[in-house]
Amino acid sequence: MIHRYTPDGFYDSSEVIDRLPTPAEAREALCLAHLSDRFAGLSQGDRADIIRRLALIAVGDAPPGEHRTR
């Protein structure tokens, strides 16, 4: 599942887009996650899943199927 960026620099899960973030976008999102109120409001498991997916994308190893819509 891919989401658009919000003004606070993280993803908004309400909208799916048709591309993966670039590795640079994923690295930026990882660095800004701790500042995001939306991220802080997620469950621990959801936060861990988002961090895992962003980390894989950041190192150029995007999970299979991540570019598809829901």
The pLDDT tens digits of the residues spanning 1-35 come to 445 555 555 555 555 556 778 899 889 889 988 88
Please tell me the pTM assigned to this model. Answer: 0.66
The pLDDT, as a whole number, for residue 2 is: 47
Q: Which residue has the tokens 């606070």?
A: 8
The pLDDT, as a whole number, for residue 61 is: 86
- Angle separating helix axes 23-32 and 44-58, nearest 10 degrees: 140
Top-confidence residue, 46 or 70: 46
The pLDDT, as a whole number, for residue 1 is: 43
Q: Using only the alpha carbons of the chain, give its radius of gyration.
A: 11
